Amino acid sequence: MSLWQASGRNGGRDDHDADVTSALRGIAASKLYLLSPCPSICKLDRTISMVETMEEKPSKPSLRAKANKIRILRCKNLIAVIENPEDIRNIGAVVRNVNALGVEKAYIVTNKNIIPDDWEVMRNKANLIAYSASAIKWSFVKTFPDTEKCLDHLEKNGFTSIVTSPHVKGKNNIVLHEANYTKYKKLAVWFGNEKTGISALAIERSAACVSIPMVGIIESLNLGTSSGIVLYEITKQRRKFQERLAEKVAEKTKSNGSV
Ligand SMILES: C[S@@+](CC[C@H](N)C(=O)[O-])C[C@H]1O[C@@H](n2cnc3c(N)ncnc32)[C@H](O)[C@@H]1O
């Protein structure tokens, strides 16, 4: 039985860990050997990461073709910034959300050696590949040593920053789904540290602080989760705006041509 048959799947790499794990648990007891689509044989009780390397990988040209096809859906001039993240798994989750939701770039502010500065090195790091479900290979990611340098870079390039927090912070507090995110031509959305949240400096130099309403006992959402929710709303609005703009331009070009 192949891995994909065992896991009940026949292609794609996303979100397969749970399926693969349970499939392996189901057949591991019999101590069978697994013959993967590539000509390797390994014992079933090896780790998932080893199994992952044995999966049938979609060929590079087909992934490249897909990347080219979806480029048009990406939200231009939208950057997600993670400020001083401590857990590499959260970086992976945010990069995955950035890629999946069509955010143009991810910036990471860190003075710890949690992630390499060089993207070529970053995209080949096994843990980042695993935690981002390979999104690291397909997303623009840049690091900054501190918040000030990142803000300076963004402002120099005409970006408006907004921060996110479960708490009321700064002068202009908005609820995620009540705001319009298309009024900023270039927008950077900041996510804070797992324990301390967003910094005072980032709040001070931002146009607004966005909250996802919290109605439970827990103080906040996890960094990866909150980035998914916030970026979903923002990309939804900005993509629609971008599409309408493209339609208008196409109409104008057509009518100019027909005169
Ligand atoms: C685990 S939270 C940090 C909690 C921290 N105690 C605080 O005071 O912000 C990590 C980050 O996730 C984002 N976040 C978590 N819950 C959020 C919410 N309800 N609304 C907006 N952002 C949220 C924020 O960017 C926050 O800095």
Q: What is the CATH number of the domain that holds 76?
A: 3.40.1280.10
Domain hosting residue 219, numbered range? 64-245
Rg of the chain in Å (alpha carbons): 21
**Domain identity same for 23 and 75:** no
**Domain identity same for 68 and 49:** no
**Domain identity same for 47 and 88:** no
Tokens of 147: 């918040």
Question: Can you give the pLDDT of all 259 residues of the chain as single tens digits?
Answer: 333 333 333 333 333 444 444 444 444 433 333 334 444 444 444 444 433 443 445 557 787 787 777 888 899 999 999 999 999 999 999 999 999 999 999 999 999 989 999 988 999 999 999 999 999 999 999 999 999 999 999 999 999 999 999 999 998 999 999 999 999 999 999 999 999 999 999 999 999 999 999 999 999 999 999 999 999 999 999 999 998 998 889 898 888 876 5
Q: Whose CA is nearest to atom 22 of ligand 1?
A: 165
Q: Is beta strand 41-43 parallel, antiparallel or unpaired with respect to 33-35?
A: antiparallel
Give ligand 1 pocket residues (Cβ under 6 A).
164-167, 191-192, 194, 197-198, 211-212, 214, 219-223, 226
Residues with Cβ < 8 Å from 66, sequence gap 6 or more? none
Q: How far is the CA of 44 from the centre of ligand 1 (A)?
A: 39
Residue 187 lies in a domain: yes
The whole-model pTM stands at 0.77
Last-in-domain residue among 11, 33, 54: 54
Q: How far is the first Cα of the chain from the last one, in angstroms, to the nearest whole number?
A: 65
**Domain identity same for 165 and 77:** yes
**Domain identity same for 238 and 118:** yes
Residue 252 lies in a domain: no
Q: Is beta strand 41-43 parallel, antiparallel or unpaired with respect to 75-83?
A: unpaired
**Domain identity same for 17 and 138:** no
**Domain identity same for 71 and 50:** no
Q: How far is the CA of 157 from the centre of ligand 1 (A)?
A: 26
Residue 259 lies in a domain: no
**Domain identity same for 195 and 103:** yes
Residue 131 lies in a domain: yes
Residue 22 lies in a domain: yes
**Domain identity same for 45 and 76:** no
Q: In the chain, how many domains are there?
A: 2
Residue 103 lies in a domain: yes
Which amino acid makes up residue 234?
Answer: I
**Domain identity same for 227 and 179:** yes
Residue 124 lies in a domain: yes
Q: Distance between CA 159 and CA 187 in Å, rounded? A: 5
Last-in-domain residue among 13, 34, 54: 54
**Domain identity same for 212 and 90:** yes
**Domain identity same for 85 and 164:** yes
Tell which one of 81, 108, 165 to mutate to probe ligand 1, the residue whose CB is within 8 A of the most ligand atoms. Answer: 165
Tokens of 107: 């910036």
Residue 143 lies in a domain: yes
Closest by CA position to 73, among listed 190, 248, 236, 249: 236
Q: How far is the CA of 222 from the centre of ligand 1 (A)?
A: 7
